[in-house]
Amino acid sequence: MPSAEVVAEVAADLKARLLRHVAAGNDVVLDFGFWYRRQRDEFRALLEPQGVVPETVYVATSLETILSRVGDRHGKQADDWPLTEQTATEYFRRFEPPTPEEGPLGIIGA
């Protein structure tokens, strides 16, 4: 798992790029984990002064599907990140699924 410093640097860069694209009038899709509501709220607050109300698209995936995909990809590509079943299960349990109370939400079953 990346260090907190690396995650913070990536998030700061992502925010700066997002604001540049929004200021230029571009549509933007962020393919980012947003594992916790506080992260999603942080980006919403960043966009609010710009008059942007983001839509969250949540790909609802069962733990069974996740574990199957992790097992299928393990070691097949040179840049595969090894992820144990235990670690994947812990990530799944810590994830806070988005809710309609957060704002516009699309849910896709996987």
Share of the chain above pLDDT 70, in %: 95
- CATH number (domain holding residue 89): 3.40.50.300
Domain tally, the chain: 1
Does 71 have pLDDT greater than 70? Answer: yes
Q: HSE (CB half, 13 Å, CA atoms) of 26? A: 9
Q: Is the pLDDT of residue 75 over 70?
A: no
| pLDDT, mean of residues 39-56 | 95
Q: Mean of the pLDDT values across residues 34-50?
A: 95
Residue 70: pLDDT band by 50, 70, 90 thresholds?
Answer: confident
Residue 67's domain comprises: 4-109
Alpha-carbon distance of 105 to 93, in angstroms, equals 21
Q: Which of 93, 69, 100, 98 is nearest to 83 (CA)?
A: 69
Q: Report d(CA 54, CA 69) in Å as an integer.
A: 29
pLDDT value of position 6:
86
Most confident of 22-36, 64-78, 94-108: 94-108
Joined tokens for residue 35:
């594992």
Predicted confidence at residue 1, as pLDDT, reads: 61
